Structure 1
Amino acid sequence: MDIRIAAYAVIIRDGEILLSHWNEHGRSGWTLPGGGIEGTEHPAAAVVREVFEETGYDAEVDRLLGIDTMVVPAAKRISGDAPLYGMRVVYRAHVTGGELRNEVGGSSDEARWFPLDEVSSLKLVSLVEIALQLDADEPANGVPGGGRWERSRERR
């Protein structure tokens, strides 16, 4: 089994959320700014780096919201021949500077602010709904879904 650890930011201001459009290998959807941790990088440092890379904004982490995990079966992976265990560390963050721009040469191709009441009409990556629920619930143990988890939740 392969393992991928990534960090993502929920950034909401003035009733809008900052999203990044993931577009890779023929798959796409709106997601949170964020991505894979590099080397020995701490997830909090990774999310700040990823927000800048994908949106052009400098960001600061406010707090850890939670950690979501999933298993992607080998047959559903874009690349790789083994199942993938994904750990997604989700933070609440805020913009401290910079200017909105799109990533060039990465896995995302657009960054945009959306009114929160329009998010449900977008083609979303599942992480967005999970992260918004974490942001609303702020579970003490950081586990989505009221503190319960399934041993091997698979991406469907």
Structure 2
Amino acid sequence: MSLEFTDYHVRLAAYALLVDGADEVDGQERVLLTWWNGEGHSDPEWSLPGGGVDFEESIRDGLVREVYEETGYDVVPGALLADHFFTARGRTFDGWFRSQRFVFDATITGGELGTTEVGGSTDHAAWVSLAELEGQPRADIVDVALAARREREARR
């Protein structure tokens, strides 16, 4: 299928991969994840903090806002770690859309853990060890980010 850019909608989204040191229990690194509630049309699952970029925001500004809303942390975006897209049919409109997603490294500069958005798609955020994440329902963007991180570390 070939569509011109005027024939589909675009959703820009930015996510942060935040990793801390080894967990005291299992010795695994932990990643900061958000529990996406499925918004009534999908099964809930773990995701990265982040989401849709507003019309008048830069990608990085959208990332900072989304991470704060979903986790309570202030962050400074770092390097672009991965970009990924998928296409699908719209649920709220007739036609196709392209979801273009950007994953950045980020550094926490303040705040405290706690979801600040009210009535949104994120129920809570938590630090989850990589071992604990195995077998848990998770959005594909989590695997995209972790794979990109492994690739970057292998190149070092």
Aligned pair 1:85/2:84, yes or no? no
Moved over 2 A (4+): 77-80
Counterpart-to-counterpart distance in 1, 2:75 and 2:130? 20
Counterpart of 1:110 (choices 124, 129, 153) is: 124
* Deviation for aligned residue 1:131: 1.0
Counterpart of 1:61 (choices 73, 77, 90) is: 77
Equivalent residue number for residue 152 of structure 1: none
Equivalent residue number for residue 52 of structure 1: 68
Aligned pair 1:37/2:53, yes or no? yes
Q: Deviations over 1:103-150 (max 9, x none)?
A: 3221111111101122122100111101111122139xxxxxxxxxxx
Equivalent residue number for residue 6 of structure 1: 13
Q: Identical aligned pairs, as a percentage?
A: 38
Counterpart-to-counterpart distance in 1, 2:82 and 2:152? 8
Counterpart-to-counterpart distance in 1, 2:108 and 2:130? 17
Q: Please, what TM-score do these two structures have when normalized by structure 1?
A: 0.81
Counterpart-to-counterpart distance in 2, 1:46 and 1:107? 16
Equivalent residue number for residue 131 of structure 1: 145
Q: Please, what TM-score do these two structures have when normalized by structure 2?
A: 0.81
Q: What letter matches 2:40 in structure 1?
A: H
Q: Residue 134 of structure 2: SS of its match in structure 1?
A: helix
* Deviation for aligned residue 1:78: 3.6
What is the alpha-carbon root mean square deviation over aligned residues?
1.5
Q: For residues 11-30 of structure 1, what are the structure 2 equivalents within 5 Å? A: 11-14=18-21, 15-23=29-37, 24-27=39-42, 28-30=44-46
Q: Residue 101 of structure 1: SS of its match in structure 2?
A: coil
Counterpart-to-counterpart distance in 1, 2:134 and 2:48? 14
Contact conserved, 1:7 with 1:89, CA < 8 A, in 2? yes
Q: Residue 138 of structure 1: SS of its match in structure 2?
A: helix
Contact conserved, 1:65 with 1:134, CA < 8 A, in 2? yes
* Deviation for aligned residue 1:25: 2.1
User: What is the total number of aligned residue pairs between the two structures?
Assistant: 136
Counterpart-to-counterpart distance in 1, 2:127 and 2:94? 36
